[in-house]
Every structure is written in C-alpha cells, then in structure tokens.
Amino acid sequence: MTDFPGAPTNPGDGRRLRVLAAMSGGVDSAVAAARAAEAGHDVTGVHLALSANPKSFRTGARGCCTIEDSHDARRAADVIGIPFYVWDLADRFREDVVEDFFAEYAEGRTPNPCLRCNEKIKFAALLDKALALGFDAVCTGHYATIVVNQDGSRELHRASDTAKDQSYVLGVLDERQLAHALFPLGDTLTTKEEIRAEAAARRLSVAKKPDSHDICFIADGDTQGFLAKRLGTAEGDILDEDGTKLGTHTGAYGYTVGQRKGLRLGVPAADGKPRYVLDISPVNNTVTVGPADALDVTALTAIRPRWCGTPPAAGVPATYTAQLRAHGADVPVTVELDPDTQELWVRFTGEPVRGIAPGQAVVLYDGTRVVGSATIATTERRTQARATA
C-alpha cells in the first residue's frame, strides 16, 4: 500500500485507514480525496452543509458552501469511486464562526473566520464526529505538511511549495488533532496548474473551477453591509491623533486597523498624504486615523494560545519567526509566555510591522515547523503607547 508523509499509521501493521475526506466542492479537496483513496485507504467523502439557506452563501468563484459546491463534491466522489454524504453542521457553524465574527467586530477587533472554522468545525466538530463513527483521520485539501517524529509525535510544517502554504490557518490545531489529520497535497512540489492538470487526468469536473476566496458566509462580499444588518448603524466621529473631528461614520465596526479606503474625510491632511485607521473604540464609537508611519508596530500581546505540540517554556524568551496574515511574510520575533496568564509577549526584532489589528492571529514558526497560534490582543507602536482594542 502506498502512502504519503504524515499519514496516521499504526507502525508495523500496515493497516488500511478509514479516512473521512472533507470535500468542499473545489479542486484541492477533490484531488486530496483521490490521493488518499489511491494510497489504499478506505475513504468516504463528506460535504459540510454550513448554512440553513445555502443560497445565501457565495456561488461560483466566490464560494465554498453552496448547493452548487455540494453537487460538485458529489460528482467528484462518484468519479473517485468513494461513498459520499452531506453532513449538516449549520447550527454549529453559525454559533462558533458566524456569531463569533459578529461579536469580535462589535468589540472593535478583526477576526479571521477561516482559522475559527478550522479550529471549531473541520478539526473539532467534524473530527469528533468522524472518530465517534470509527474513522481514523480527516483528510482535507490544505497545503501543509505533517512530520512524524521517531517517538510517534507529530509536527505541523509549512507546505513544500511555500507559495501555496496554508499552515497559517492551521496553526490553531493541537497535537491530538494533528494525530488524526491528513494533508495529501502538502508535500507536492507542483503548481496549482499542475494540480488542475492532475484533476483533469483523473476526470474530475472541478479541474477548471475557480478558487474560492473572501468570506464564504457574506453572500455579496459587502462585509460592512453584512455587519450593519446585524449590529445596526450608529453615527460616530472620525478623529485624528489629537482628537480633532475629521468626519463621521455609521458604525465603528465597519473599519479595521490599516484601512485607507472608504474613510470619506471632510478635512484633508496638512501634509496632503493619505490617512489610515489607527484605532477603533467601540466604547465611544470613534475611529482614529493618522499617517502611515503611525501604523508601525514594534511589539504585541496575544491571548488564548494554541500549541501544535510542546509549548515554549514559560517565562523564558524564545526566538521564532511570526506570520501575521494568511499570505504575509515571516518576520523575526522574540516571544515570552507568561506562566500565570498564559499571555504571549511578542517583540519584533527586525523592522516594525505595519497595520496589525487586534483580533487577528499571530502564528509562530521554528523554521518550517508551526509552533502555535494566538489571538492578538494589544499592540505597541513606535510612535505611541500600546494601543488596545
């Protein structure tokens, strides 16, 4: 039986694994399921119904949760020759991802719903259900690599092709979840075009389907409008760093740190340069703007860490690199874990990093290995005292 690196095998027995392949209806998850089946595992495909009204989610190139996607996933499973089911996780998704999204924006933070979905849905609700039904692992089309150590422990690493690496959104997985995860595309040193060519060679109709992007549960892509329907409108002030009123807004939740467009300021900057959102205060419903260099962050604190294995020693500074956006570059940092609060203090040892928003995730790396992930709580800027959410 052939296999791929990181498969959760029982050493020495060569047993065939029961694998539940999460099939979104896209090309990556379809090829991942096909590779798992080709490796000799007993694979069952499942599409997650995440909306009580699937038509409210995106369609075509901008979705991953539509009726069309479930049909595409079913057709791919039929071609691969594996059983296929649709599982209704709409209530769990609404509670753990959508409601969390609203709550974070209401508090002036900028969440990443893809990380929350991986943490709470794909590798919690789905994995727990899979294990209860006797499956050994959940397989997805993420580009990341699992390395198995000699002692049997597992590490999450970047994909072999760093251009497609998705380890950032998987940094919320713990060691137990990694022990039951398969990422068949992670060690693939191929381009996306070659993945599509493989799908076409396997006669999968999704070979030419465009990739999904943006937030799947916002049907028209209008995040501010989506938030306004739930959180309502409330006029507030847009201020400069000195507290001078420059304009008004209809809801502070509609802005994020680093935003430049859509400010509609009535008073131009004295130097004629663009202004950016520096802070959002839900307490008094104000948005503070300023020059680009006021966004330079030298350090941050992060809460609710999740470790992909052994955590760093508490109270002892450690050297890592950090990634702060899904497609952001690595930056060198020193990290210290508070032994009492479990809060992380992260200091950038190179150039300051611009436009970091509370609520986003910081993912730590030791080389290519993912150490863990935490939620950004506060930032310290080069030009001002630490800003809080």
Counting beta carbons within 10 angstroms of the beta carbon of residue 133, is it exposed (0 to 12), middle (13 to 18) or buried (19 or more)?
Answer: exposed
Q: Is 216 a catalytic residue?
A: yes
Question: Hey, which residues does 146 pair with through a beta bridge?
Answer: 156
C-beta atoms surrounding 56 within 10 Å = 13
DSSP code string of 107-145: TT----HHHHHIIIIIIIIHHHHHHHTT--EEE----EE
Half-sphere exposure of 282 toward its Cβ, with a 13 Å CA cutoff?
A: 18
Task: Give the DSSP letter of residue 300.
Answer: E
Angle between the N-to-C axes of helices 67-80 and 27-38, in degrees from 0 to 180, rounded to the nearest 10: 20
Closest by CA to 293, choosing from 279, 304, 278, 283, is 278
Catalytic residue among 64, 65, 114, 117: 117
- Of 385, 387, 298, 386, residue with least CA distance to 350: 298
Query: Structure tokens of 355?
Result: 């436009």
Residue partners of 82: CB distance under 8 A and separation at least 6: 21, 33, 37, 43, 44, 45
Provide DSSP, 182-216: E-TTTT----HHHHHHHHHHTT-GGGGPPPP-S-T
Instruction: Return all residues near 277 (Cβ < 8 A) that are at least 6 apart.
Output: 255, 256, 257, 258, 259, 260, 263, 287, 288, 289
65 catalytic? Reply is no
Residue of 387, 128, 195, 351 whose CA lies nearest to 278: 387
Quote the strand ranges of the chain, DSSP E.
18-22, 42-49, 84-88, 137-139, 144-148, 154-158, 181-182, 236-239, 245-249, 276-281, 286-290, 296-307, 318-323, 331-337, 344-348, 353-354, 361-366, 369-381, 387-388
β partners of residue 21? 45, 139
The residues annotated as belonging to the active site are 117, 216
